[in-house]
Structure 1
Amino acid sequence: MARFIARRLALAVGTLFVLSFLMYGLLEFALDPLVDLRENPAPNRQELIDNRIRLLNLDVPWYQRYFLWLGNFLTGDFGIAWRTMQPVATLVRGAIATSVQLVFAATIISILLGVTIGLVSALRQYTSFDYAITFVSFLLYSLPIFWVAVLLKQFLAIGANDYLQSPTVNWPLVVILSIVSGLFWAGALGGKRAKRIQVFVGAFVVTLAVFAGALLTGWVNNPTIGIVGIGVLSVALALGVSALFAGMNNKRALYAALTTAVLGTVLWWPLQWLFFYVEMNWLWIIGLLALSLALAALIGWLFGGPDRQISIRGAMITALFTSVLIFVDRVLQTWVPYNNAPQIRGRPLATIGASTPGLNADFWMAQLDRATHIMLPTLALVLISFATYVRYQRGAMLEVLNQDYIRTARAKGLSERVVIVRHALRNALMPLASIVPVDFITLIGGAVITETIFGWAGMGRLFITSMDGQEVDPVMFYIILTGGLAMIANLVADFLYAVIDPRIRVNA
């Protein structure tokens, strides 16, 4: 293992050296830091040119400047953006944080939705549901991101903010959304015609009731989850996780998940007191989350069962979901004062920037403000990435389902749940193991168009701004960062292969 890692790291360092040398040479021909001065009509133009040449060492060959830059880079001096005279380290620190904040949620949501819907589409091959998902995924994949982003700003920000000023029930739209929900769930669950009709009616009624209740009760103007909502959703997830990963016959795993859901709901009361009297920060939140996961693991271990790991896993997934619900509920409790703040003026859905300037907010309101700003760019990235993951997961799942060992597992009498979840799904995740890390690193490198449209000062914007300003040092840092992260992503993909498929070993 150590030899493998050392070999890969040595190869990565050598590759980065060659990459940086070649890119520095190309930037010598692509950028001209004196272009603005050559067109300057000032009488002291030559003096200004001489000063900039001395500042940027332009009087020495580019390869000598490269080694000067490399020596400074290796000692932690990443250079300066000479137009503003700001250190590159300062600029990049904020840009990386912005890009990670933007793409992390988008990547997680895209993977979860893409894998789930791609799996269901493969299981419903050549049905109306499969054709519909295939059409939608190809449609989303072909849409230009700038067009999607502009539509989202128009309808989900400007239009939604106008609607929140005087919300009314648009019954035709509510009925259409309810019909779409019914068709989706009827196609996803499948079965005979009678079962599909029952599922359609049930999903239609539930969706219609949820939309009507939210609109008629004024929930959209004061959205909260509350202890009842947290309890219902947590128990529903506990049942779903148990049915999917353990089977309803595994009573101990089921009881472990349900106990975790009930305990998490009960803890909502003391947590409200803690959130009110203690000044929260992310260290507190992470600590509480770790404590809840440890408690859930203990509950799963105490219940045990035929496979204690399954009980622990189900309890921990339930605890994670319940913790997120409690966190979101507390954030939403600041909706009314946030919406009434003078900087917001009743238009909470933001279209530009990562935060609201001048907003006097505590920890919870700051998270709500960040969520309202990140929602649209995240949704834009999800719509594009989701389509890719659906296609990959569907193709991989169809290939695995035709393997001999799947037919053998079914011939042995294993339930369809065990065949799909434990045998087929794990191997179908192999292609995604090599795609997801690289995609994530690519997005950290800069979702240039998305950041530009929504006014996010991330790595993509930094790269474009530096290129326009003829600044070599920020561009070189960007190249080294993205190149190094890409190599790390490939190394992570190799280890994910070994985790998913135990037959793979790094020594091979």
Structure 2
Amino acid sequence: MLNFLFRRIAAGIATLVVALFLMFLLVDRAIDPLQDLIESTAPNKQQLIEQRIADLNLDVNVVVRFFQWFGNVLTGDLGTAWRSGRDVSSLLTHAIGSTLELVTAATFLAVILGVTVGIVSALRQYSAFDYITIFLSFLLFSLPSFWVAVLLKQWAAIGFNDFLRDPVIAWPVIIGASLLVGLLWSLAIGGSPRRRVQVFGIATAANVALLAYIQLTGWWDRPQIGPVLLVVLGAGTAVAVVGVFAGLHNRRALWTALTVVVLGAVLYFPMQVLFDSITESNWLIVGLALVAAAVGYLVGRLYGGADWRLSAHTGAVVALVMGALIFVDQVLQVWGPYFKALDGRPIPTFGDRTPNLGGNYWVQVLDSFTHLALPTATLVLIAFASYTRYARSSMLEVMNQDYIRTARAKGLPERLVIVRHGFRNALIPLATVVPIDVITLIGGAIITEAVFARPGMGQLFVRSLTEAEIEPVMAYLLVTAILAILANIIADIVYATIDPRIRLDA
């Protein structure tokens, strides 16, 4: 493992230096810092040109200037944007922070939704659900991102903000939406006609109950999860996770998941006191998430059994979901003052922060979430189509392998065949695709950032090229090149983790 990392890092450093050298030559050739002065009609134009040449060292050979820049980078100096006079490090820090927020949310949601729907579609091959999934994936894949972004601004932002003036959902709409949800669930679960009817009835009734609760309690005016919904959603998550990964017959896993739900409900009120004391610390929230996962894992370990690892993993997943629900509930508690501060239009259509908003840590978190909603939805819809197709084709290929037929011939339950033998091997192609996609997005979702005026990496790159500032452009290329190299290394490690036939120390 160490030899592999050493070889790849050494090769990566060599590749990085060569790539940066070539890109410096190309960028220097592409931009002209003197263009505005050449087109100027100022009487002292020639003097201004000579002064800028001296300031930017344009009279020095481009190769020498590259090594001067690279030497400064090794000392931690990324240079200065000569037009604004701002330090490149500060520009890059803000841009990459804004982009990381967007990429993290979009990638996580796209992978979870895309892989889940793709695998279910493969398991229901040639069914109505499969045809619907194929149609939607091709439709979304063919849509240009700027068009999706503009539609979301019009309907998901402006339309939703208008809806909040009088948040009433008509009962025919509730019933119609619930029937559609019930139909989709019945197609996804499949089975005998009797089972489909049962799933349709349960899903429809559950959706009607949820929407009726939202409607009758005035949830849109005071959105919250609260202890009751926390227990209901947590119990539903526990049953779903156990049913998929362990089977409801595995009592130890089921009791582990339900115990974690009870612990989350008990800790709900003490966590409110802790959250109120938080002023500004995202790392504390990350630490609490790790503690929650560790507690869930410990609960599964304490229940023991021959397959205690399955119970422990189930407990960790349910604990993370419970922690996320409690966190979201705390964020929603500041919805009232935030709603008033934005004059009743809380879903913004541009930027990544509301200027001069003020408020405590939770108001800032809610403001960040609302600004992430539309660009994240845009990227998720586009990426969802790709991940669905990848997961579906990979799962279909895996399910036709000899070892799957062998597992079935041994009498293993179909759930075990799918989860333990099929699902893991179906993830192998995605282990290569996802890290590369993440780095591509970190490089800047340029069109999405432009539509929503989000000051991320893509906008930094385009703006710097337009203003002929080579230092910010090279800083951007430096970060993206390093991340691309790391993404390839991570992809190899994940690939070897999923597929035991691959050895990194070979």
Same fold (TM over 0.5): yes
Change beyond 3 A, Cα 1:190–1:327: same
The Cα of 1:292 is off from its aligned counterpart by 2.2
Is the counterpart of residue 55 in structure 1 residue 50 in structure 2?
no
- The equivalent position to 1:361 in structure 2, one of 334, 359, 362, is 359
Distance in 1 between the 2:279 and 2:50 partners?
Answer: 55
Change beyond 3 A, Cα 1:248–1:175: closer
Q: TM-score of the superposition, structure 2-length normalised? A: 0.97
Tell me if the contact between 2:234 and 2:261 (Cα under 8 Å) persists in the aligned partners: yes
Change beyond 3 A, Cα 1:180–1:330: same
Distance in 2 between the 1:292 and 1:64 partners?
Answer: 53
The Cα of 1:355 is off from its aligned counterpart by 1.3
Tell me if the contact between 1:253 and 1:304 (Cα under 8 Å) persists in the aligned partners: no
- The equivalent position to 1:457 in structure 2, one of 450, 455, 458, is 455
What are the superposed Cα offsets for residues 450-482 of structure 1, whole Å, 9 maximum, x if unpaired? 111111110000000000001111111111211
With 383-392 and 234-243 compared, the bigger mean Cα shift is at: 234-243
SS in 1 for 2:220: helix
The Cα of 1:403 is off from its aligned counterpart by 0.3
The Cα of 1:94 is off from its aligned counterpart by 0.7
With 277-286 and 326-335 compared, the bigger mean Cα shift is at: 277-286
Distance in 2 between the 1:280 and 1:94 partners?
Answer: 17
* 1:414 aligned residue: 412
The amino acid that maps onto 1:48 is L
Change beyond 3 A, Cα 1:280–1:266: farther
The Cα of 1:280 is off from its aligned counterpart by 5.8
What are the superposed Cα offsets for residues 85-104 of structure 1, whole Å, 9 maximum, x if unpaired? 11111110111111001110
Q: TM-score of the superposition, structure 1-length normalised? A: 0.97
User: Percent same amino acid at aligned positions?
Assistant: 52
The amino acid that maps onto 1:356 is T
* 2:473 aligned residue: 475
Distance in 1 between the 2:179 and 2:36 partners?
Answer: 60
What are the superposed Cα offsets for residues 394-436 of structure 1, whole Å, 9 maximum, x if unpaired? 0000000000000000000000110000001000000000000
The amino acid that maps onto 1:52 is R
The amino acid that maps onto 1:181 is V
* Structure 1, gaps ≥5 residues long: none
Structure 1 outlier segments of 4+, above 6 Å? none
* 1:322 aligned residue: 322
Change beyond 3 A, Cα 1:459–1:271: same
Aligned positions of 1:328-407 closer than 5 A: 328-341=328-341, 344-407=342-405
Distance in 1 between the 2:281 and 2:168 partners?
Answer: 37
SS in 2 for 1:340: helix
Distance in 2 between the 1:421 and 1:456 partners?
Answer: 40
* 1:29 aligned residue: 29
* 1:212 aligned residue: 212
* Structure 2, gaps ≥5 residues long: none
What is the aligned residue count? 506
Distance in 2 between the 1:501 and 1:250 partners?
Answer: 27
With 495-504 and 290-299 compared, the bigger mean Cα shift is at: 290-299
SS in 2 for 1:219: coil
SS in 1 for 2:164: helix
The Cα of 1:257 is off from its aligned counterpart by 1.1
Distance in 2 between the 1:11 and 1:290 partners?
Answer: 34
Aligned positions of 1:190-209 closer than 5 A: 190-209=190-209
SS in 2 for 1:177: helix
Change beyond 3 A, Cα 1:286–1:27: closer
Distance in 1 between the 2:238 and 2:213 partners?
Answer: 25
The amino acid that maps onto 1:312 is A
The amino acid that maps onto 1:350 is P
Is the counterpart of residue 294 in structure 1 residue 330 in structure 2?
no
What are the superposed Cα offsets for residues 352-379 of structure 1, whole Å, 9 maximum, x if unpaired? 1111111121111111111111111101
Tell me if the contact between 1:300 and 1:313 (Cα under 8 Å) persists in the aligned partners: yes
